[in-house]
Amino acid sequence: MFTAQPIGFVHSPYQETSAIPKGLGARHDAEGAIELLREYEPGLADIEGFSHLFVLWEFDRADGFDLFAHPPSDEGRPHGVFATRSPRRPNPIGLSVVQFDGFDGPDQLVVRFLDCVDGTPLLDIKPYRPTTDAEPDAAMGWLAPHATRNANTDRS
Amino acid sequence: MFTAQPIGFVHSPYQETSAIPKGLGARHDAEGAIELLREYEPGLADIEGFSHLFVLWEFDRADGFDLFAHPPSDEGRPHGVFATRSPRRPNPIGLSVVQFDGFDGPDQLVVRFLDCVDGTPLLDIKPYRPTTDAEPDAAMGWLAPHATRNANTDRS
């Protein structure tokens, strides 16, 4: 197995994990940036035309893992960690679908919807392909009633 | 940084990387399975109601990385690795959105659309949330003309 290597770092408005809006109705539309280490910069060639990207990072503030998570969106009730997006996972890899708003310098990508802490180590960037990655009608299991509730809240 | 640990293994019909259908129009609808190591099984609690999952794995057959990939969908023309889904990445992490078709025993998940080799080490499973993960109108950059071409081919 491999040892993870940072290819860059994330800049976000969230200085602490507690500052990240949590739960399904949470808004992460604050602008953030992804900064690649200079040696990896050539790997960004031809990324311009993608409107959305997968960003993978290390949950480097997570303290070990737990097979049960207690997500705030369900008032702390336990769910298996693989049925949640909890940071305390066996492999501490985080994943966001972000909107890519262009470059700010050759090694800095301006993005939206990135829900991680400022300074988080970046592991990977992948192009988002709606042909294989978009499932707008996917069923959300235990999250579904909370999604409805939050949607109602958002409208009110 | 962390060292990746397998939490299970993937069973797929593809015995060699060369057997995996490549490119945007490729069909990966063969059924596969994800088998968790017994110690991680409790982490699957409440995953039943999700119709789609993110599956993360290690590209364990990849031989190092290259900042440029030469994807078959563009006839081998070079693109920055972060603008492709090439296995030869700085952190060799693979990602698929799969359809979850239920359990076959307590530690085995039956899935569709998994495009990796039989025996691949599993790193993580995450629930797919259409509220944050589905972007059906995302623009596909250099892949777009190929997507159109493949879609036309599929219809003919």
* DSSP string for chain B: -PBP---EEEE-S-SSGGGS--STT----SEEEEEE-GGGGGGGTT-TTBSEEEEEEE-TT--S--SEE--GGGTT--EEGGGS--S--SS-EEEEEEEEEEESSTTEEEEE---S-TTPEEEEEEE--HHHH--TT--BGGGHHHHHHHHHHHH-
pLDDT above 90 as % of chain B = 68
| Rounded Cα–Cα distance for residues B78 and A34 (Å) | 23
| Nearest of B111, B64, B116, B65 to residue B95 by alpha carbon | B116
* Its pTM surpasses 0.80: yes
Query: Is the CB of A90 less than 8 angstroms away from the CB of B136?
Result: no
| Nearest of A150, A14, A133, A11 to residue A71 by alpha carbon | A150
The pLDDT assigned to B154 comes to 36
Strands B31-36, B108-112: parallel, antiparallel or unpaired by DSSP?
antiparallel
Which amino acid, one-letter code, is at B89?
R
- When scoring B36, B46, B153 by the number of chain A Cβ atoms within 10 A, the one with the most, hence best to mutate, is B46
ipTM exceeds 0.85 = yes
3-state secondary structure of A22: coil
Task: Give the gap in angstroms from C-alpha A64 to the nearest C-alpha of chain B.
Answer: 11
The pLDDT assigned to A132 comes to 92
| Rounded Cα–Cα distance for residues A84 and A59 (Å) | 14
Contacts of A90 in chain B (CB under 8 A): 5, 7, 40, 43, 124
Phi, psi of A91 (to 5 degrees): -110, 115
Confidence of residue A12 (pLDDT cuts 50, 70, 90): confident
| Rounded Cα–Cα distance for residues A22 and A115 (Å) | 9
pLDDT surpassing 90 at residue B103 = yes
| Nearest of B129, B155, B122, B148 to residue B32 by alpha carbon | B122
pLDDT above 70 as % of chain A = 89
pLDDT surpassing 90 at residue A147 = no
Strands B8-11, B31-36: parallel, antiparallel or unpaired by DSSP?
antiparallel
Mean pLDDT of the region A52-71 = 96
Contacts of B137 in chain A (CB under 8 A): 130
Contacts of A5 in chain B (CB under 8 A): 1, 90-91
Within 13 Å of residue A69, how many CA atoms lie on the same side as its CB? 25
Contacts of A112 in chain B (CB under 8 A): none
Query: Is the CB of B50 less than 8 angstroms away from the CB of A140?
Result: yes
Query: Is the CB of B79 less than 8 angstroms away from the CB of A45?
Result: yes
The pLDDT assigned to B111 comes to 96
